[in-house]
Amino acid sequence: MSDLAVPRVLRRTHGLWIAQGAAILLLAVLAGVVIGETPLPLSTVAAVFANRVWDAGLIVDPIDVGIIWSYRLPRTLLAAACGAGLALSGVVLQALVRNALADPYLLGVSAGAGAGAVAVTILGVGGGLLGISGGAFVGATLAFGVVAALARAAGGGSAQLVLAGIAGSQLFNALTSFLIAKSANAEQARGIMFWLLGNLSGVRWPDVVLAAPVTPVGFLICLWFARAMDAFSFGVSSAASLGIAVRRVQIMLIGAVTLMTATMVSLVGSIGFVGLVIPHAMRFVVGPRHARLVPASALAGAVFLIVADIASRMLIPGQVVPIGVVTALVGAPGFALILVRNRRRP
């Protein structure tokens, strides 16, 4: 193999990878639309799409149209955006914080979102201007601000950020519990608990439109900084000595993570383990270099959450299991498996 031939070969395999990734994602979305309590044949799905996209005028049962177009497709797309966003957030945080346990909820974002949502529903903060999602978004960003400020005041290291994140999460979780205990009735409390555990049931098109741009933008930012994230392998100081504008890269990447996580949590509640397990699993498959890890994690996250959503609809007939419960049920043993298989040689 001559040296000159290598880049061309690489580029061809790039194209192949992208095509394969797109195909896998498409299949997963199709599965999300087809599988459910009422299984719908592919032909019906194709007809609904033809009608919607090209005005084909095919005759389809309006109930099937409703299930496919208004119910399953938006929630499947949001599941994909959400899974990819959470997995990307995990990749970024594990690279920047240099801690294997870093995940999107580490920065207190999820706890803040919960507190914000509760403040809106129970206390009526925002006077009806903020919906539950708006409240969650504000809470998430606020919590991250508190955590970042605390980490800075403590000296600004990655260990400080982890500790500040724990403190911030505890604070906002306590705030949530306090608000629920003080003012919620049993009905409200149950609703909030359900929402906090992650839930895609209420997802409609406006939610998808809101979330859809966030994940691709976050993905491109992560891909753009893939080499910079590699450079953080030996720490912040080493990254700086390799020519990385550390502060700027940190702000861009943490900004992208906060935006993605806050958006997802505010739309679907907190879905644990995706941000933690998917990047680790993908490291195992494609290695630690971010040029591969970023796209692989985004894809795996999207597919994983689509599958988890299908499972959450199918596990108990007639009832939806919170998707956060499904991801944790699969994620925790998955994580244990990765830990054991990856164990350091003594």
Helix 109-118 and helix 158-183: axis angle, to 10°? 20
Is 292 an interacting residue with respect to other proteins (CB under 8 A)?
Answer: no
Of these, 36, 157, 191, 288, which contacts other proteins (CB under 8 A)? 288
4 vs 59 by CB, closer to other proteins:
4
End-to-end alpha carbon distance in the chain: 37
Cβ at position 108, least distance to other proteins in Å: 23
154 vs 311 by CB, closer to other proteins:
154
Candidate ranges 169-177, 223-231, 300-308, 317-325; the one touching other proteins (CB under 8 A): 223-231
Is 238 an interacting residue with respect to other proteins (CB under 8 A)?
Answer: yes
CA atoms of 298 and 304, how far apart (whole Å): 10
Of these, 26, 166, 245, 337, which contacts other proteins (CB under 8 A)? 245
Asked if 73 and 64 touch (Cβ cutoff 8 Å), the reply is: no
CA atoms of 68 and 45, how far apart (whole Å): 7
Candidate ranges 55-63, 114-122, 162-170, 238-246; the one touching other proteins (CB under 8 A): 238-246
Of these, 167, 212, 240, 252, which contacts other proteins (CB under 8 A)? 240
Q: Which of residues 52-111 bind other proteins (CB under 8 A)?
A: 98, 100
Is 241 an interacting residue with respect to other proteins (CB under 8 A)?
Answer: yes
The full 3-state SS of 173-199, as one line of letters, equals: HHHHHHHHHHHCCHHHHHHHHHHHCCC
Half-sphere exposure of 237 (CA within 13 A, CB side): 2
Is 227 an interacting residue with respect to other proteins (CB under 8 A)?
Answer: yes
Q: Cβ-count burial of 46 within 10 angstroms (0-12 exposed, 13-18 middle, 19+ buried)?
A: middle
69 vs 225 by CB, closer to other proteins:
225
